[in-house]
Chains A and B, each alone.
Chain A
Amino acid sequence: MMEDFNSETDSDYTSYWRDWFISSRGNEYFCEIDEEYLTDRFNLTGLNTEVPYYQYALDLVTDVFDLDADDDLREQIEKSARHLYGLVHARYIVTTRGLTKMVDKYKKGDFGKCPRVMCEGQPLLPMGQHDIPNMSTVRLYCPKCEDLYNPKSSRHASIDGAYFGASFPSMLFQVYPGLVPEKSTSRYEPRIYGFKVHAAAALARWQDQYREDMKSRLRDAGMEVNSQGCIIGKRGQ
């Protein structure tokens, strides 16, 4: 049964369940996993112990499900299928093909924009703080300020972070270093009637020194560093 689908290419096969899944409301962060990837058992290693009704769920995801199940059982299989899809998704998006799909979504701004004012609408990337399911919900990573934010919509706030994984954004920028946005050293300066506030200003000075320390560490290691602390080349070569 599996071989039939392996021989089919993605384009002439309509994926009903996955189409429905990624187009349903709240699932905007997910990309579509290739048929080929899903049907390669190697990619699913270990998931059979994680997902109840594993085989039925996999059949459902790959549109070969034809079990006469009652509503209750179907509901459970459906839930398992979503869980399975999410867990495979976390593996898929760090592959070459998965990354391309996610980069497209990132460029379109499908994951939202950074809420931080100084990041000026920098597009975000979804990720989890854990690779184990049911630990924490999905977070959004801003590559400009390198921080994590909660999704603003409640329909995204309930998605498991493990469906994206903790390595995804770092992996994406390792593969596409050109996509790393320019960093900015501007920050919010709290003021009272125009005067800077001492506690905040003292911290800002300390933080600036911290950044300078990082820059000199990098320079000592033979890197050429710009004013934002980003490496722009190697020295003395």
Chain B
Amino acid sequence: MSSSEGAPESWISSFCSLMGHEFFAEVSEDFIEDDFNLTGLQSQVPMYKEALEMILDVEPEEDEDEDEEEEEEEDEDELLGDEKLPGYRRAGDRRHTRVASDLSVIESSAELLYGLIHQRYITSRPGIQQMLEKYEMQHFGVCPRVYCNGCKVLPVGRSDTPGQETVKLFCPSCQDLYTPPNSRFHSVDGAFFGTTFGCLFFMTFPDLDIGPRLDSSLVSPARSSTVNNQVSPDVPPAHQPVEINGVRTANFCPGLGLGKIYESRIYGFRVSERSRTGPRMKWLRMKPTDVEELNEMARYEAARREADNDGDTEMGAAPAGGAQNSAIAKRKKAPMRRRRYNPDQMSINGAEAG
């Protein structure tokens, strides 16, 4: 468990090589030693100092200035019993006598502290780079969804607070979250990866190819040909933008859209939408064939221009100041338009946040 008695391996690398800890990156000691990176963690982790010492493989006696605070606790500890863990005897030879239970508390505190530091580290420049290497080596596995064609996934959390949910896997191809297939990850806290990491990672490396790794037409020739027949009138227009809403079009949800959606069929016939058991969830895997449809600003402006031309002919001849005013008005109107655009939107967001 503890390698604080000068084992060749550091605590960090032995922690990361534990079964179930394969997703963790090894946080560099430089990062941990910078107090700024640890801001606020002291209040979240019990026995913070000892935990930090354990992570950094520092012998407790080296920190002279902490001795005073510690003495009080340890006096009590000594009363509880004199069981000493053999590995810790060297430190305990002096006043630092610890009972085994105490050590296991520190051990679990160290794991919690390491996890919380890890959450911050993987969004830092060296950390995200380290995770990129692990990602490219497929350390985190692939998306279980058939139409994602084995897209590599990333470990993320659904909460930044520890003890809430276990680690999940984020697939950039379908923008969805999956439970790791191996049960050994079902005890790893999701907060140790955090909510920010998944998306930040793909924004940091926008050119990372997340497209299909296997040619889907090779995998299922029959299916893709039938799909193509239906889809042919909906082939995207030739002039697709290189980038849409800050994401490269080629990397924008390549696993979604027509042809990447399961169609319920019986003996080759599609089940009608009007059937009680017909398809209801197509929206979840849908993407516009023409990604320009997602450029809400452009669409709004086009719609506005049309409205202006209908009602107000003077607008065309308005001076430059008019354009500025309209830009301001547009910004003011934007939230209103969204609310009108989808009445259910607000309630859905509210329900999820709660």
Contacts and interface: CB of A to CB of B under 8 A. Distances in A.
Interface of A: 115-118, 129-130, 132, 135-136, 139, 141, 144-150, 152, 166-167, 169-171, 173-174, 177, 180, 183, 185-194, 197-200, 202-203, 205-212, 214, 217-218, 221, 223, 227-231
Contacts of A116: 145, 176-179
A228 B350 CA distance: 16
B294 A202 contact: yes
Nearest to A117: B177
Interface of B: 144-147, 158, 168, 170, 175-179, 181, 195-196, 198-200, 203, 219-220, 222-223, 244-247, 252-253, 256, 261-262, 264-268, 271, 273-288, 293-294, 296, 338, 341-342, 344-345, 348-349, 351-352
A170 B219 CA distance: 23
B344 A208 contact: yes
A145 B283 CA distance: 10
A183 B252 CA distance: 26
Given A117-B177, A212-B342, A218 B274 contact: yes
Given A148-B262, A167-B266, A199-B244, A192 B200 contact: yes
Given A148-B146, A207-B286, A170 B177 contact: no
Contact of B181 (A115, A144, A198): A115
A116 B158 CA distance: 13
Given A199-B245, A200-B175, A206-B288, 20 more contacts: A135-B220, A135-B222, A146-B282, A146-B284, A148-B147, A150-B144, A177-B277, A183-B280, A186-B348, A188-B170, A188-B175, A192-B199, A197-B203, A208-B283, A208-B342, A208-B345, A227-B344, A229-B280, A231-B274, A231-B276
A190 B348 contact: no
Contacts of B293: 206
A152 B181 contact: yes
Given A203-B253, A203-B294, A223-B274, A198 B220 contact: no
Contacts of B351: 186
Nearest to A232: B276
6 contacts: A145-B281, A180-B276, A205-B341, A206-B287, A207-B284, A231-B274
A206 B352 CA distance: 18
Contacts, number: 172
Given A147-B145, A212-B344, A202 B245 contact: yes
Given A148-B147, A206-B293, A198 B198 contact: no
Contacts of A211: 283
Contact of B198 (A118, A135, A190, A227): A190
A127 to B, nearest CB: 9
A167 B267 CA distance: 6
Contact of A149 (B146, B261, B273, B276): B146
Contacts of B176: 116-118, 187-188
Nearest to B251: A199
Contacts of B264: 146, 169-170
B265 A187 contact: no
Given A129-B220, A185-B348, A210 B178 contact: no
A214 B282 contact: yes
B281 A146 contact: yes
A190 B170 contact: yes
B338 A199 contact: no
A150 B181 CA distance: 11
A186 to B, nearest CB: 6
A177 B284 CA distance: 22
Contact of B245 (A150, A183, A185, A198): A198
Contacts of A208: 283, 342, 344-345, 348
